[in-house]
């Protein structure tokens, strides 16, 4: 389980967060029922750090708009080519792009990697992101998203998987399943989704929710052929209602 954290302060209550709190009043225990149903199918995952934070950040940048396999291949190539993070930061963008070309969009990702390494070094004096643990989750997300090319999904992955901060990385599976269930409006933007999830689930269950929604999106709740008949949360899903004859 991630380290215990308080709910996000209401001082920054956005329209998305207001909508989420209203949903909780209109459809009580919706998120709890969803997570319980998904746990019956996938179990309850236990949180543990996956990689060191700076490696997680660079890997996540490499994973943008490509598969995990391609991102891992590019990350391995990067670490094999350069002896340390300082060497990567000092390398020309063109050279980095050539090394990570297997991950796709190398010309875009290379300067993002350099910018992330530079910002981290300038802030901490090393390639160490543990200073983020002293920040509130939203402040930590803001710091990361101030780096060019890092959006809320990339920042939230690093903060959730490395430090257990209760932030939802909204990928295509999380977005699709959330909208089908009715946890998010069907027209919600990704920014709206990231903000709404701050109030859709208890902080201690954010990791569980993220993993469960991804597993469900890759399995039962397929984009084209969702298996609604065998879905354990169909009783609380708005998508099932819309598909009914």
Q: Which domains does the chain have, with CATH numbers?
A: 13-46+168-243 (1.10.1670.10), 53-163 (1.10.340.30)
Band (pLDDT 50/70/90 cuts) for residue 11 is very low
Per-residue pLDDT, 240: 78
Residue 107 belongs to what H/E stretch? Answer: helix 106-124
Per-residue pLDDT, 1: 53
Could you tell me if 47 and 166 are in contact, meaning their C-beta atoms sit under 8 angstroms apart? Answer: no
Model pTM score = 0.91
Check whether 4 has a pLDDT greater than 80: no
3-state helix, strand, coil in the chain (%, to 5): 65, 0, 35
C-alpha span between 168 and 175 (Å, rounded)? 10
């Amino acid at each position: 389980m991630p380290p215990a954290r308080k709910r996000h302060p209401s001082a920054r209550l956005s329209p998305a967060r207001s909508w989420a709190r209203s949903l909780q009043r209109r459809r009580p225990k919706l998120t709890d029922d969803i997570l319980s149903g998904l746990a019956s199918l996938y179990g309850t995952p236990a949180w543990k750090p996956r990689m060191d934070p700076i490696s997680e950040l660079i890997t996540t940048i490499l994973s943008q708009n490509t598969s995990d396999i391609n991102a891992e291949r590019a990350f391995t190539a990067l670490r094999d080519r350069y002896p340390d993070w300082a060497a990567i930061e000092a390398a020309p963008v063109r050279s980095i792009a050539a090394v990570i070309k297997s991950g796709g969009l190398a010309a875009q990702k290379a300067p993002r990697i350099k910018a992330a390494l530079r910002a981290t070094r300038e802030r901490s004096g090393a390639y160490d992101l543990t200073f983020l643990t002293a920040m509130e989750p939203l402040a930590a997300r803001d710091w990361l998203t101030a780096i060019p090319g890092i959006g809320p999904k990339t920042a939230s992955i690093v903060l959730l998987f490395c430090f257990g901060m209760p932030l939802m990385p909204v990928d295509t599976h999380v977005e699709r399943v959330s909208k089908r269930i009715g946890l998010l409006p069907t027209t919600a933007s990704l920014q709206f989704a990231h903000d709404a999830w701050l109030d859709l689930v208890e902080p201690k269950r954010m990791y569980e929710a993220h993993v469960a929604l991804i597993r469900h999106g890759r399995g039962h709740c397929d984009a084209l052929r969702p298996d609604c008949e065998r879905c354990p949360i169909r009783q609380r899903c708005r998508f099932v209602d819309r598909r009914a004859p």
